[in-house]
Structure 1
Amino acid sequence: MHQQLRGESDYEQLPDDVPVSAHVADVEQAKGISAYFMFVIQVKQKGDGRYFIFRRYRQFHSLQAKLRGKFDPENNKNFNTCVLPALPGKVYLGNKQEIAEKRIHELNIYMKKLLALPAWILLDADLRIFFYQTTEDSVQVPKSLRRLRPPTRKVQTKTVKEEVIPEDEKPWAEALYNFTGANDLELTFKAGDIIYLLKKVNEQWFEGIHSHSTGIFPKSFVRIIKDLSQEVATIQEDRRIVAHWFRCVHHKEDCCEIRDIYLKTGISLQPEYKMLLSKMRAEFETEDIALNYCDPEGDLVRILDDTDLELMAVEAEERPKVTKADFVPWRVHVSRKHDLTVYNIHP
């Protein structure tokens, strides 16, 4: 099959069940003849399927040896050779848990580079078996998933003016381990760096600022020195009721209709996703709707959770479109759930 894969069409020809990315979500201790640690790995398939697998370091080492035997140019003179990414070496002395924790970053880099190799490598039987969710994997339940990235596409990353808060009063943390962000939304820092805290994304992730860049990062990679105050947390979590009206744009098949919707009980600047979705379903008397907001570039972005609503509210405050009294500054765009024509699918 690999001989049929050519050029830019390689990826499109891969089956949907081929793994294309993987990330260590946690490390768990397993019991056997002797204590050892398992890496809890979230795998994403080309068809967007996601699942967890549980692997020991020795299984990574075994996979690397098999791949080197087949594809490494030094061991194989055949046409199908490839330079494989480096796997972190074995460590024979030290605390097993500390060794496993320190390997997380290196294993993430290894898997990222491994799954970015030519498409025909992804079809290798040994590689697919390693990332395959076995029956044993499927029945295990991860304990905490401390390093699992939040399921959100966008996070607030407003620049913070340094003069707003005195240096000695800022919430901050010290990095315990190196962390390399997987994209522009995540911070990159080294052990010992100082990170100023902006907000709490969820129980395991924070948003912070480091070296004039903002982004999210896992809580387990840092030691909190001065935590976010309860007052700040309360402001973030409990946005007061500010209006009774909001504007809704209904995207129909042939036109757009604008509705101004009134809520007797009032609506907060940042409502809950489930509440707003329920209100819209009642307003349009159908379950077949999707909520969206218009981003600064003019494209519609589908709202999937409270984080998306928060981003909508923040962007609306910066560029209000509705100026009537008793209106919230944001507006909701309602479309049919399965209608993708309203989105910019060709950026």
Structure 2
Amino acid sequence: MMPLRQQLRDESDFDQLPDDVPISATIADIEEKKGFIDYFRFVIEVKTKGASKYLIYRRYREFFNLHQVLEARYSPEVPDKPGPNTIILPSLPGKVFMGVKQDIAESRIPELNTYMKAMFDFRGNDKAELNLKRGEVIFLLRRVNADWLEGTVNNQTGIFPKSFVKIIKPLPESESEGEGGAHTYSYLRCFLLTPSGVATRDVCVQEDLTIQPSYKELLSRMRNVFKEDDIAVNYRDPEGDLIRILDDEDVQLMIKESCVQQVNDKRPVNQFPWELHVTMTSDLSVYNTEA
């Protein structure tokens, strides 16, 4: 029986995807390429949600490199025991160092097809791949390879196919390209605390992580984000208690304390080290009033 989580995804998120999104990939053939080194590459037929098809061409080493990246980031230290931020990846056929190249390539087709099917089947159902919904803004972290990106959205960090999204702010082509004063997108994690629960928002900020906003700027932005006017902005101190922000000096103190805590926090590289907790102005029950 199909797991409920996968069934709900198939019935909701899938319908929201554009027609040109790939939904399956199958190796249809192999092709010999001649040059300084002769090699074979796999001819992969990709089918889209809209029932169209196209071909892409990949060498085995591209499968291998992608798998190494995924293993380094998501594989559990103890086999068969995934933790909260790990998954058990499908098996990739191993390298072969001796034999006829064409025979080796042809022998890999069944296992690689199984591998690709597994990669498509676990989309969005684990910690490696992001759940994507139409209209969401994903904060890009890095390229995995030519077809896959890594980013953050809704408290999740993971990979996703580049073809699923429209790039608003591209990543630098090289590590040095993002230096020299060029702005990149950062994001601020915010929480709205209400009696009915907590709402989380990742707010896109076109400033680098060293920016120190004013109290009025933070208050105005939070009013716009959560569509509430009568609010207070807060942060959590090292003991976990909420501290209400009332002026620019409180903002400075928040940033100073967050830099101390940042050493122990494992956050994406483009996330501000401080977070905002938004409450209703009249709600004083959220504060620790013990002496």
Structure-2-length-normalised TM-score? 0.38
Structure-1-length-normalised TM-score? 0.33
